[in-house]
Amino acid sequence: MRWVLGLALVLAIAFALAWRDRFDAAALQAWVEGAGAAGPVVFIGLYAVATVLFLPGAVLTLAGGTLFGPLWGTLWNLTGATLGAALAFLIARHLGADWVARRAGPRLQRLNEGVASEGWRFVAFVRLVPLFPFNLLNYALGLTRISFVTYLLSTWVFMLPGAFAYTWLGHAGREALSGGDGLVRNVTIAVSLLAAVALLPRLVRQLRAKPMLDVLDLKCELEAGEGVLLLDVRTVAEFTGDLGHIAQARNLTLEELPECLVEFESRKQRPVRLICRTDRRSAQAARLLAEAGFSDAQVIRGGMTAWRAHGWAVVNA
């Protein structure tokens, strides 16, 4: 049955893409206006179906602003896009998630676990960064272990800024064509909103990043014997060089780390601390561990430079 449903979906997508030239703003306006009072419901349904069938969402979003104005248009656009995204997610999870889980190799499994551990932060990032195609992403996320509720809520919240900006752009376009009095104001607002949306990915990157741990906190953890794994990701020469290393540290270079993650599978829910000369390489190592599903991997702020600044003991051998 799954193969039959999958084949039916592929055929429906192929048919929709073959006829997408007829799916334009004029046709959409005719369908919605022809529905009368049920126009918003028809629009939401069309948006959801278009999302599942890989039809361009930009046309719909701009049309929503043209047909319903900036506020109601945003609501209907966001509702239709979220509904379509939810349907695509559930279709992918029903048809392919189990198959992917059985067939995935160690690297793909680590990636899946990393995505699941990031949860809403990962969804927020990919929703706000325009590099990721919206329609394909809905199906791809359905193959991961992210919970449906987390996916649904994060999708709605983090698509809101973009939906509002592009809906207002559609509204401004209508004003431009009609020569309305508020043309300059609406265009200025639309451009400002698009600029603000472009800055949001940087904010999400900061939200995704876990706070660094101070060297004093690391020292307290090590002295308390809390079972912390301290990985020093510098080169071997640096590990035994002038700055030395902390006695409890294990040297594992940044380049070696990806190939050695399997060794630390049992520590995914336990504290891992990462240190280097400052904190740049250890920040890269922390991202690798987060993608692999490690839930408590933290960077030591200032690294060995900060440790030595306190005059604490090191090993040079």
Q: How do residues 16-38 score in pLDDT, each as one tens digit?
A: 878 777 777 777 788 888 888 89
Domain-located, residue 183: yes
The single-letter DSSP state of residue 61 is: H
What amino acid occupies position 96? G
Please check whether residues 301 and 203 belong to one and the same domain. Answer: no
- Predicted pLDDT at 121: 79
112-146 as b/e: b if 16+ CB within 10 A = bbbbebbebbbbbbbbbeeeeebbebbbbbbbbeb
The predicted-structure confidence for 60-100, as pLDDT tens digits, reads as follows 888 898 889 889 999 999 999 999 999 999 998 988 767 66
Beta strands (DSSP E) in the chain are 229-232, 250-251, 272-275, 297-299
Stretch 248-261: mean pLDDT, rounded? 92
Distance CA 161, CA 133 (A): 17
pLDDT in the model for residue 41 = 94
Of 10, 23, 15, nearest to 57 by C-alpha is: 23
pLDDT of the residue at 32: 86
230: phi then psi, degrees, rounded to nearest 5: -105, 115
Assign residue 280 the CATH number of its domain: 3.40.250.10
Last residue of a domain, one of 208, 226, 249: 208
**Same domain (yes/no): 77, 201:** yes
Q: How far is CA 73 from CA 135, 165, 179, in A?
A: 20, 11, 20
Q: Is 227 left (phi over 0), alpha (psi -120 to 50) or beta?
A: left
Of 121-130, 211-220, 290-299, the least confident: 121-130
- pLDDT at residue 120 in the model: 83
Domain tally, the chain: 2
Residue 194 domain-assigned (yes or no):
yes
SS3 315: strand
Q: Are residues 162 and 264 in the same domain?
A: no
- pLDDT at residue 275 greater than cutoff 90: yes
Claim to verify: residue 77 and residue 158 sit in the same structural domain:
yes
Q: Are 168 and 219 in a shared domain?
A: no
- Residue 113 Cα to chain centre, angstroms: 14
pLDDT for residue 277 is more than 80: yes
Same domain, 203 and 233: no
Range 162-172 average pLDDT? 83
pLDDT over 90 for what percent of the chain?
38
d(CA 304, CA 280): 12
Q: What is the pLDDT of residue 83?
A: 96
My answer on whether 126 and 179 are in the same domain is: yes
**Would the CA dihedral through 249, 255, 260, 262 be positive or negative?**
positive
* Listed residue (73, 258, 33) closest to 169, CA to CA: 73
Q: Which is higher by pLDDT, 216 or 62?
A: 216
Pair (203, 222) in one structural domain: no
Task: Provide the pLDDT confidence category of residue 108 given band limits of 50, 70 and 90.
Answer: low
Tell whether the model's pLDDT for residue 252 goes beyond 90: yes
Mean predicted lDDT score pLDDT of the chain: 83
- Residues 123 and 244 reside in one and the same domain: no
* SS percent in the chain: helix, strand, coil, step 5: 70, 5, 25
The stretch 231-240 carries a mean pLDDT of 95
Side-chain-side CA neighbours of residue 134 (13 Å): 28
Residue 232 has pLDDT above 80, yes or no: yes
Domain that holds residue 145: 2-208
pTM, two decimal places: 0.60
Residue 179 has pLDDT above 80, yes or no: no
**pLDDT for the residue 157:** 92
Residues 202 and 285 placed together within one structural domain of the fold:
no
User: Are the beta carbons of 264 and 231 closer than 8 angstroms?
Assistant: no
Helices and strands in the chain: count of H runs, count of E runs:
15, 4
Of 57-71, 228-242, 299-313, where does mean pLDDT reach its minimum? 57-71
